[in-house]
Amino acid sequence: MQFPEALVSGRLTRRYKRFLADVVLDDTGEEITAHCANPGAMLGLTAPGSRVYLSRSDNPKRKLKYSWELIEADGALVGINTAHPNALVEEALQAGLVPELSGFASLRREVKYGRNSRIDILLEAESAPPVYVEVKNVHLMRAAGLAEFPDSVTARGAKHLVEMSDMVAAGARAAMVYLVQRGDCETLSLARDIDPAYAAAFDAARAAGVEAYALGCSVSPSEIVADRTVALNP
């Protein structure tokens, strides 16, 4: 996924109300408010003074022209925009990065299923059961090289695991794909101390036949690409 225009750099002043961030732009010194498309805690990714990268929109209907895309943390660039993972995983699946999820004739996004939910990606083929793919964004790293999910309690995430188990029981396949939007992690684990209920739901889903995969990204100010698998050690 390439950014359509060059990102604007600046220094983070603060992130607040979950979806807002104040940033001092490098080129002008102006302090602006950017949209933060990330509902999570963003542990380790909100230190004041951190260099960040923003995209800019000239859409007159937008209240905020800038969107926060990347941050420099732990010596690496980290993608924080949770609007991107579904598209990044779609690109990775179409490139055959996950062989177990390759070879399907149809890929659809945001398909209704379960109890008033939408699956991120639905893979279909005439000669195989459909695969319900749930994508989760990952950017937490508390120990070098180890990505963790989630970074805050996610009851919604646990609910999705139950619904995916139901799909398996009905004869379909279901797969979790954890997308690590940073290039400095080789392993993904569950943050069981942050959300024990999600960890328990994950264990139950895996026992029920839900598959799980993890992908890592190369991140730069020009593009984010899911380009490798990451070891999953839940």
Hey, what are 65's tokens? 């022209």
CA dist 212 → 54, 63, 200, 225, 230 (Å): 31, 38, 15, 20, 11
Asked, for residue 3, whether it belongs to a domain, the answer is: no
Here the CATH number for the domain that contains residue 60 is 2.40.50.580
What is the DSSP code (8-state) at residue 160? H
Question: What strand order describes the sheet that includes 140-143?
Answer: 140-143, 146-149, 187-190, 231-232
How confident is residue 208, by pLDDT bands cut at 50, 70 and 90?
very high
Q: How many CA atoms within 13 Å lie on the side-chain side of 8?
A: 21
pLDDT of residue 116: 78
- pLDDT > 70: what percent of the chain? 100
Taking alpha carbons only, the member of 62, 52, 57, 63 closest to residue 8 is: 52
What secondary structure does DSSP assign to 113-158, as a single string? ETTTEEEEEEEEETTEEEEEEEEEEE-EEEETTEEEE-SS--HHHH
Here the CATH number for the domain that contains residue 218 is 3.40.1350.60
What is the DSSP code (8-state) at residue 50? -
How confident is residue 230, by pLDDT bands cut at 50, 70 and 90?
very high
Say yes or no: 192 and 93 in one domain. Answer: yes
In angstroms, the CA 84 to CA 204 distance is: 28
Q: Which domain holds residue 134?
A: 85-232
Residues 208-218: what's their mean pLDDT?
98
Domains: count for the chain: 2
Say yes or no: 198 and 100 in one domain. Answer: yes
CA dist 173 → 53, 123, 146, 190, 201 (Å): 38, 10, 28, 22, 17
The model's pLDDT over 10-64, given as tens digits with 9 standing for 90+, comes to 999 999 999 999 999 999 999 999 999 999 999 999 999 999 999 999 888 899 9
Give kind and range of the element (H or E) at residue 225: strand 224-229
The model's pLDDT over 96-137, given as tens digits with 9 standing for 90+, comes to 999 999 999 999 999 998 777 899 999 999 989 999 999 999
Say yes or no: 97 and 175 in one domain. Answer: yes
The model's pLDDT over 135-193, given as tens digits with 9 standing for 90+, comes to 999 999 999 999 999 999 999 999 999 999 999 999 999 999 999 999 999 999 999 99
Rounded to the nearest angstrom, the gap between the alpha carbon of residue 234 and the centroid of all alpha carbons in its chain is 17
Residues 69-85: what's their mean pLDDT?
97
pLDDT of residue 12: 98
In angstroms, the CA 205 to CA 174 distance is: 10
Please list, in sequence order, all residues whose beta carbon lies within 8 angstroms of the beta carbon of residue 189, skipping any fewer than 6 positions away: 146, 147, 148, 233, 234
Say yes or no: 91 and 202 in one domain. Answer: yes
Could you identify the residue written with the tokens 């302090």? 31
Asked, for residue 190, whether it belongs to a domain, the answer is: yes
Hey, what are 92's tokens? 């990775």
Last residue of a domain, one of 79, 103, 135: 79
DSSP reduced 3-state for 211? strand
Residues 71-76: what's their mean pLDDT?
96
